[in-house]
Amino acid sequence: MRMNFQPLTSASRVLVVLLVMTLVWAGCSRKKTGLTNRVFHQTTARFNGYFNAKEMMMALEENLRVQNQENWDELLPVFIYPDEEKAQQLYPELDVIIEKCSKVIQRHSMRIRNKEHNKWIDDNYFLIGKANFYKRTYGSAQEMFTYVSKAFKQQNTRYDAGIWLARVYMETNRMSKANSVLKKVSEEKDLPKHIEAELPAVYADYYIRQENWDSAIEMLEQAIEHARDKQFRIRLTFILAQVYDKKGDSRKAVQTFSRVVRMAPPYEMEFNARLYQAYAHSGRMDATEVRRMLQRMLRDVKNFEYRDQVYYAMADVELKERDIETAIEYLIKSGEVSTTPKHKAKAYYTLADLYFDQRKYVLARNYYDSTLAVINEEMPNYQEIKTKAENLNELVEHILNVELQDSLIMMVDLPEKEREKKILAEIVRLEREEEKMRKAMESGQLGGFTAQDQRQAGMSMGGGGGKGDWYFWNNTTRSHGFNEFRRVWGNRELEDDWRRKNKGQKAGGGWDDDDPDGEGEPEFVSSVPTLEEFLAGLPMNDTAYAAAHYSVIESTYQMGVIYKEKLHDEDNAIEAFTRLILDYDTSEYALTATYQLYRLYLAKEQSGTFFGSGRLDNSDYYKYIILDDHPDSKYAKLILNPNWRQDEADRLAEAKKLYEATYTQFRRRQYTDALYTCNNVITEDPENFLLPKFYLLKALVIAQKKDRTTYVETLRELIGRYPGTEEAEKAKELLGALGESTHDPDKAPPEEEKPKEEIKEEKKESPYVFDEKASHFFAMVFPNKGVNANDLKASIADFNSSFFRNKDIKVTNSFINADNQIMILRSFSNFSEAMDYYNTFVKNNTVLKDINSKGYDRFVISTKNFTTLFKQKDVPQYIEFYEENYLKSK
């Protein structure tokens, strides 16, 4: 039957539209659980916002894996998480994920009567938690995962949330909470397969962070068995091998790394798996096959950029085989070929530690410095390396100084012909080296020391500064001297007036490009000193010779202290202090060195592992030297009473306490009590540390009693008993205020207040002799600290080149005493010539403006008088003689 449809009227069309809109609204309602509602919201939630957010998260995690830069020197992390910097770069993508999931929850959540009827909402909450985790906003991540695990107890997502909540706790170092959550998840029955695969991996991460290697191994093996992703399975296997190595199971470590290679991993992981087989090699295993494998890796062109790592692994094998010298060769090669600061630092640091353990402190210091040069302050062990370098810097300076001075002294002690023979032989050797360098420069192949060169440089470098080969034959010492020279003066060739600042600098031992006509080839300029230049550097006169010995004494003592206190190297400390008491038994450090030896041997004996075999290697020998020869010294007191220092400190504390109590009595006007205490201390405790203070306080108490005579007498007694003290100076002020002299007028005045005429008559005869015809030096005394002697030399050299160009003036400096150095300019044929130089020097206000403004003592002195000055070290005494005999004779 044919049906006829009539067109809808306008009113009918409106009714149809309203009906459709009502049905759509009913289907979109989030407050009704009807099939239409659930299908609509679940479909929209899954295939709209959540699908896109999940795809973004998967792509983001894949990029994290691909872009991750592994630190193969460390145990690989089980999971790859972004660091702070990387997380900030991911913020835009992660925020989009959070925004999409939040909109899904806002528009499609069907939570009715405290129950969620949209089965995709929990996934969106979980994804928001993951996004916050990767943003490292762990508080928000924890909140999301906790909510999912509690609000969706019927959904499998609660297991994922539990595992990721454990990850949050591990990242925030709340390990007990992480363990509790993981345990709760593992106790659940019928876990989804993906959770069964993921849970042991998270557990492995937990146990690795706890360094529980046995449990980590168990969990890793389970994780490998269940892992569905091949790359993740390879990663877990590599980590398992590393954990075996951490545990010390070399055999299983090697086997597991070999297993990684067979799994066809990415090449970088394969390379490192092979490398780790070498690292896992134990000294108890045959190293032959490991060496062959590393040699094959070295020859493989694919490993060209990894040569530094192969050499390092070869060094590691040799260290385990106890072939230290070969290991050092490989480490030097590793540093030479490396192009990455991180690996250079690793090779240099290992070398530094090796040399330190061998007590080759010069080389150790150099390599610690090299390590610092290629790392930045953000490196984890930067401060440790810096501290080691700083501890060695001072020691090395003293070692090199002792070796230099010993070498110079040894040369001076040789007969003249033998001395010149040695110097000429050294000149020949230097010329050969320079020729070698010249050819290398011509061919463009000039490099640093070879590995063999560097090994040989360290062979003769022990920990101490014994009397060894001549300084100029020692590569390490000589190169240090060159570096110090270059630091101060720059690259200068040896020539007349080389110190002058306004001369063009040329590289000594290099090419001379100074060709004003632009014609001809550059000429190689020799830097080998002549025989005369070598001889000029030797301490040939008595003064310089004595200064060299003084320098040895000072540096040797400081070496001993550094060995003992900073490096805890008792053997080298003993060697340094022993040299002092044997070679310089009359020096100012001899007694202290003897006590140091007593303490060092006593500590060795008390350890129970040391037994002296000779006359000198026991504490009693040094103890009786001190007790017999220096019975009143503080060291004798310390030997007889090890608590002497503490006892002295206690006595001082008691004295301070008593003085403060007495002073309080004085302030409270309890004058009788205060006076009684002062008199009692002065009479009964003559060794009280604060006697000058008690004398002064006694005087102040008496002043309050209006007893002027006793007050003045007490002040004078204080001045007489404790001259030069702060209290004595205060007493002088108080007497001056009264118009009283500092001494009793009925008694002879103290020497300091005798008339000048009297003093002049009683003055001792001066040890100095005025001789106008004798050769003279010009001298300047300046502080040992805070003044750069090389800067002074440079300024003086500029002055000489400008005002005394035609005069050959030698400039040297040495220690005159512990606090000062003396600059010597030599020599002038007579008094008149020396004074001409003196007058020009002191009046110069251009080149020498800075020096002359410092107020340093400057004077001329005959060669004979200088020997006397250097022995007596009494500069003020000579200045007085100089002013009376030289300045008045001008």
- Identify the CATH number of the domain in which residue 791 sits: 3.30.70.1150
Residues 780, 877: one domain? yes
- pLDDT tier, 165 (very low <50, low <70, confident <90, very high otherwise): very high
Which pLDDT value is given to residue 115? 60
Residues 786, 883: one domain? yes
Q: Is residue 340 part of a domain?
A: no
The Cα–Cα gap between 327 and 354 comes to 10
Is pTM, for the whole model, over 0.95?
A: no
Q: Is 219 exposed, middle or buried (0-12, 13-18, 19+ CB in 10 A)?
A: buried
Residue 367 near residue 355 (C-beta atoms within 8 A): yes
Residue 864 near residue 838 (C-beta atoms within 8 A): no
Q: Are strands 820-828 and 115-116 parallel, antiparallel or unpaired?
A: unpaired
Residues 632, 657: one domain? no
Element (H, E) at 151: helix 138-151
Span 111-138, pLDDT tens digits: 555 665 566 678 888 899 999 999 999 9
Work out how many domains the chain is built from and give that number.
Answer: 3
Residue 178 has pLDDT above 90, yes or no: yes
Amino acid at 152: F
For residue 586, give both structure tokens. 């009359």
Q: What is the percent of the chain where pLDDT is above 90? A: 22
Residue 47 has pLDDT above 60, yes or no: no
Which pLDDT value is given to residue 216? 94
DSSP string, 90-142: HHHHHHHHHHHHHHHHHHH--EETTEE--TTHHHHHHHHHHHHHHTT-HHHHH
The Cα–Cα gap between 342 and 379 comes to 9
Residues 620, 672: one domain? no
Q: What is the 3-state secondary structure (H, E, C) of 52-84?
A: HHHHHHHHHHHHHHHHCCCCCCCCCCCCCCCCH
- pLDDT tier, 157 (very low <50, low <70, confident <90, very high otherwise): confident
CATH number at residue 715: 1.25.40.10
Q: Identify the domain boundary among 714, 749, 784.
A: 749
Residue 559 has pLDDT above 60, yes or no: yes
Domain region containing 706: 650-749
Q: Is residue 448 part of a domain?
A: no
Rounded mean pLDDT of 238-261? 90
Q: Is residue 657 part of a domain?
A: yes
Residue 146 near residue 165 (C-beta atoms within 8 A): yes
Residues 657, 597: one domain? no
Which pLDDT value is given to residue 189? 84
Q: Is pLDDT larger for residue 784 or for residue 662?
A: 662
What mean pLDDT value characterizes the chain? 79
CB-based contacts of 887, cutoff 8 Å, min separation 6 = none
Span 427-453, pLDDT tens digits: 899 889 888 887 877 765 544 444 344
Q: Is pLDDT larger for residue 114 or for residue 641?
A: 641
- pLDDT tier, 6 (very low <50, low <70, confident <90, very high otherwise): low
Q: Is residue 632 part of a domain?
A: yes
- In 3D space, the residue among 257, 256, 255, 249 whose CA is nearest the CA of residue 275 turns out to be 257
Q: What is the percent of the chain where pLDDT is above 70? A: 79
The 3-state DSSP class for residue 476 equals helix
Which pLDDT value is given to residue 12? 56
Span 643-657, pLDDT tens digits: 767 777 777 888 898
Residues 587, 611: one domain? yes
Residue 299 has pLDDT above 70, yes or no: yes
Residue 315 near residue 334 (C-beta atoms within 8 A): yes
DSSP 46: I
- pLDDT tier, 543 (very low <50, low <70, confident <90, very high otherwise): confident
- What is the dihedral sign for C-alpha 30, 34, 35, 36? negative
Residues 599, 677: one domain? no
Write down the H helix ranges in 566-690: 570-583, 590-607, 619-629, 634-640, 644-667, 671-684
Q: Identify the domain boundary among 687, 717, 749.
A: 749
Residues 782, 884: one domain? yes
Q: Is pLDDT larger for residue 98 or for residue 724?
A: 98
For residue 189, give both structure tokens. 């029955």
Residues 792, 869: one domain? yes
Q: Is residue 726 part of a domain?
A: yes
Residues 627, 675: one domain? no
Residue 79 near residue 24 (C-beta atoms within 8 A): no
- pLDDT tier, 524 (very low <50, low <70, confident <90, very high otherwise): low
Q: Is residue 842 part of a domain?
A: yes
Q: Is pLDDT larger for residue 736 or for residue 754?
A: 736
Residue 299 near residue 276 (C-beta atoms within 8 A): no
Cα distance from N-terminal residue to C-terminal residue, the chain: 151
Residues 659, 712: one domain? yes
Which pLDDT value is given to residue 236? 94
Q: Identify the domain boundary among 749, 784, 799.
A: 749
704-740 as b/e, with b when 16 or more CB fall inside 10 Å? Answer: eeeeeeebbebbbbbbeebeebebbebbbebbeeeeb
Span 68-98, pLDDT tens digits: 888 888 899 999 999 888 888 888 988 888 8
The Cα–Cα gap between 485 and 481 comes to 6
Q: Is 240 exposed, middle or buried (0-12, 13-18, 19+ CB in 10 A)?
A: buried
Task: Find which of 496-500, 504-508, 761-765 is predicted with most confidence, using mean pLDDT.
Answer: 761-765
Q: Is residue 784 part of a domain?
A: yes
Rounded mean pLDDT of 212-240? 93
Q: Is residue 361 part of a domain?
A: no
Residue 553 has pLDDT above 90, yes or no: yes
Which pLDDT value is given to residue 755? 46
Residues 614, 672: one domain? no
- pLDDT tier, 609 (very low <50, low <70, confident <90, very high otherwise): confident
